[in-house]
Chains A and B, each alone.
Chain A
Amino acid sequence: MAAIVTLQTGTGFWNPLAWCIAFAIALVFAYLIWMLGEKDPGKGGDLVRPYLSGNPEPEKSAVHLRGGNLYWGFTEALHGYYSRVTPLHSGILTDYLLWFLGVIAVVLIMVGVLA
């Protein structure tokens, strides 16, 4: 069975079945730990209410983080990269054609000179 599901990668191997079994065992452990917790925390009271430093809890629909808020730090950190690469995606067809022809020229030089 192991031979059937083991992928040979040249220098190593990968057995998805072993990974699935390990994952299932980890899930069982997670479930057991969860079972040790409070069985019925109830539907109200301080135990389930979020603590927001004394501020009132906003509406549920108002606390969802929208997609545009995520990875703001990442794009800010790479601002230099994005400020150069994003404008290249101009949406202008002639720009696309220019890139296409430019690549042909570069590859032509590479193949013509090096090959």
Chain B
Amino acid sequence: MIPAFILQHAPALLLCVPMLGAFATPLLGRLGAGIRNAWALLAMLATLCVAGILTSEVLANGTLIYTFGAAAPSFAVPLDSGGIPIRIIFAVDAMGAFMALSASIVGTAVLLYSIASQKKNSGQDGYYGLLLLLTVGILGMVCTGDLFNFFVFLEINSLAGAALVAYRVDKGVAVEAGLKYAVLSTLGGLLVLFAIALLYGQYDALNIAMIASRMQFTLLDKVALVMLLVALAMKAGSVPMHFWTPDAYSMAPSAITAFLVVASQASLYGVFRVVFSLYGLALDCLTVGWIIIILGVLSMFVGVTMAIPQKDVKRLMAYHAVSQTGYMLLGVGVALAVLGNQDLLAAYGNIAMQGGIFHIINHAMYKGLLFLTAGAIFYRTGTRNLNRLGGLGHSMKWTMIFFIIGALAIAGIPPFNGFASKLMIYESVFLFNPLLSIIAMVVSILTLASFVKVFHSIFMGPALPEYAEVREAPLPMLIGMGILALMVILFGVFPQQVVDILVAPAAAALTDQGGYIASVLGGA
């Protein structure tokens, strides 16, 4: 039985728990590494529990509104405010809950993995504190119903992410990668802030639902849309603004890289929230849909072709992360392009949307898993260079199995989860434009080819003398990988359950702009 207090305040607790965890971690670190690690893990597990509770509440009762500072959390519009929701409001619909749950699962696996992978490193107080702060940023972005609040969490996300990329300060390139990430994120953040200012200047409101209800799609709204769209697409790692991705992903500790994928997905969520909930049918859906589709196709193709010649396993995987983001943009872009046409939306738009959203959680799981396996290999061998690695299948069998699961999933091989979401995208996008679907399939084939190369380079061949002493990764790292591998298999074997329970409600919540507005403003 869940206490009523937790049920009532779940949206606030979702942020309070990791925030408390983050700020208390350096203090508890003074009592000992074991206590600090246990505290950080406890905070992340509690966050996962709250995310689970919140998701089940949202799926059972619809969008959850939480107004900070109000007499009652659901009291969004004060009587004397002229119908404007003036307080910070969290509006957690099925899409937000879906993202929060996905982030919390990966966050838990990453933190568990970090306990072993960071054991030899210094500065762990800051590491765990920043990891939990990054969690706060991600969860805040996907839960808030307030544009300025979204910007604040975007900044928390960016700053914590940049600091974690540069975590290995003894390596100059890591600091350089962190700086690039920070500068680009800051520029993106400034554009988001400027766009919010444009909208605030016109509509006297910062609440997404309020602005959406008044949206005129003026010239200034178009400028704001472009700034929001491009800045968030850049943060999501979309081509041709993806250049920071291989630099940052390859230099960050592997556990952090796995979580940076989720951080990027929070920005992707921002793109979807802006076009569907903030602008909705006020947009020229076909034009903006095609812009997102073009970004998606470019991301898919350039990402995978740049991955193939890479020799650094993490750079290679980073390019694949870019490529997979393209599938999500493609699926959701097609849905946006036909948003105004109910017949086409029913014929294939909804499935394309569901495929794109399903791919978000699938990608978080298998890409997180792949980065963790890369980290385990680096942890044991001290290199990420594919030209130096080989024969590790003899000594790191569990890591190899987890890698195979992740690689087959990302390549869209049945029965793993990547296949299910890609199949939904292929079939629905084919009805929209066959060429796009064919490109998506070719990209999957190239992805498989690329991971065959990685598998061969790292695990196959005779045991090499330089790695004669290499042993299997430590148990916490294996457990972290195992959690994600299990999710990859379960989501692949029971895809319809995931679609019915999580994905379809999330897709429906995004396309139902009227429902989103009504949930916040009620009859106002």
Residues of A within 8 A of B (CB): 4-12, 14, 16-17, 19-20, 23, 60-61, 63-68, 70-71, 74-75, 78, 81-82, 85-86, 88-91, 93, 95-97, 99-100, 102-104, 107-108, 110-112, 114-115
Closest 5 CB pairs of A and B: A67-B386, A67-B457, A64-B461, A60-B462, A115-B284
Q: Which residue of B lies closest to A93 (CB)?
A: B180
* Chain A residues within an 8 Å CB radius of B457: 66-67, 70
Given A7-B423, A89-B306, A104-B226, also A64-B390 (CB < 8 A): yes
Inside 8 A of A10's CB, which chain B residues have their CB?
A: 347-348, 350-351, 424, 427-428, 431
Name the distance in Å between B190's Cβ and chain A's nearest Cβ. 11
Q: How many residues of B contact A (CB 8 A)?
A: 72
Q: A9-B423, A107-B291 are in contact. Are A74 and B308 (CB under 8 A)?
A: yes
Least Cβ–Cβ distance between B437 and chain A, in angstroms = 11
Q: A61-B462, A75-B309 are in contact. Are A93 and B496 (CB under 8 A)?
A: no
Could you tell me the distance between the alpha carbons of A103 and B288 in the complex, rounded to whole angstroms?
14
- Of the candidates B302, B390, B415, the one whose C-beta lies within 8 Å of that of A20 is B415
Question: A-B pairs with CB below 8 Å: how many?
Answer: 170
Q: Pick the contact of B243 from A23, A95, A104, A110 — CB < 8 Å?
A: A95
A7 touches B308 (CB 8 A): no
Quote the shortest CB–CB distance from A16 to chain B (angstroms). 4
Given known pairs A7-B423, A104-B230, A110-B291, the reply for A86 and B306 (CB within 8 Å) is yes
Contacts of B233 in A (CB 8 A): 103
B241 contacts A4, C-beta separation under 8 Å: no
B: which residues have CB within 8 A of A?
179-180, 183-184, 187-188, 191, 219, 222-223, 225-227, 229-230, 233-234, 240-241, 243-244, 246-247, 283-284, 287-288, 291, 302, 305-306, 308-309, 311, 347-348, 350-351, 385-391, 414-415, 419-420, 423-424, 427-428, 431, 449, 453-454, 456-457, 460-465, 492-497, 499
> Complex Cα distance A96/B423, Å?
34
- Do A14 and B386 contact each other (CB < 8 Å), given the known contacts A7-B495, A103-B241, A104-B227? no
- Shortest C-beta distance, B41 to chain A (Å), equals 33
Q: Give the distance to chain A from B232, nearest Cβ to Cβ, in Å.
A: 12
- Are A111 and B226 in touch, CB under 8 angstroms? yes
Q: A67-B453, A110-B287 are in contact. Are A100 and B234 (CB under 8 A)?
A: yes
A100 touching B187, Cβ below 8 Å: yes
CA distance A6 to B240 in the complex (A): 37
A16 to B498, CA, bound (A): 13
- A70 near B387: Cβ-Cβ < 8 Å: no
A110-B291, A111-B222 known; A71+B309 contact, CB < 8 A: yes
CB distance from B226 to the nearest CB of A (A): 5
Interface majority SS (helix, strand, loop, mixed), chain A: helix
**Extra inter-chain contacts (4) besides given A7-B495, A100-B241, CB under 8 Å:** A71-B449, A74-B449, A93-B180, A102-B240
Is the CB–CB distance between B493 and A85 below 8 Å?
A: no
Expressed in whole angstroms, the Cα–Cα distance for A91 and B179 within the complex equals: 12
Cα distance A74–B246 when bound, in Å?
21
> Min CB distance, B420 to chain A, in Å?
6
Q: Check if B244 sits within 8 Å of A96, measured CB to CB.
A: yes
Most buried by A among B226, B241, B305: B226
Q: A5-B494, A16-B414 are in contact. Are A82 and B309 (CB under 8 A)?
A: yes
Select B180's contact among A66, A89, A96, A102, beta carbons within 8 Å.
A96
19 residue pairs from A and B, CB less than 8 Å apart: A7-B424, A7-B495, A10-B431, A16-B414, A16-B415, A64-B461, A67-B453, A82-B305, A93-B180, A93-B183, A96-B180, A96-B241, A96-B243, A97-B183, A100-B184, A103-B240, A104-B227, A111-B222, A112-B222
**How far in angstroms is the closest Cβ of chain A from B502?**
13
Cα of A64 to Cα of B305 in the assembled complex, Å: 24
A14: chain B residues within 8 A (beta carbon): 414, 419-420, 423, 495
Contact between chains at A12 and B427 (CB < 8 Å): yes
B244 surroundings in chain A (CB, below 8 A): 96
Min distance, Cβ B441 to any Cβ of chain A, angstroms: 14
Cβ-defined contact, B230 with A70, below 8 A = no
Tell which of B230, B347, B461, B463 touches A107, judged by Cβ atoms closer than 8 Å: B230
CB proximity of B440 to chain A, nearest CB, Å: 14
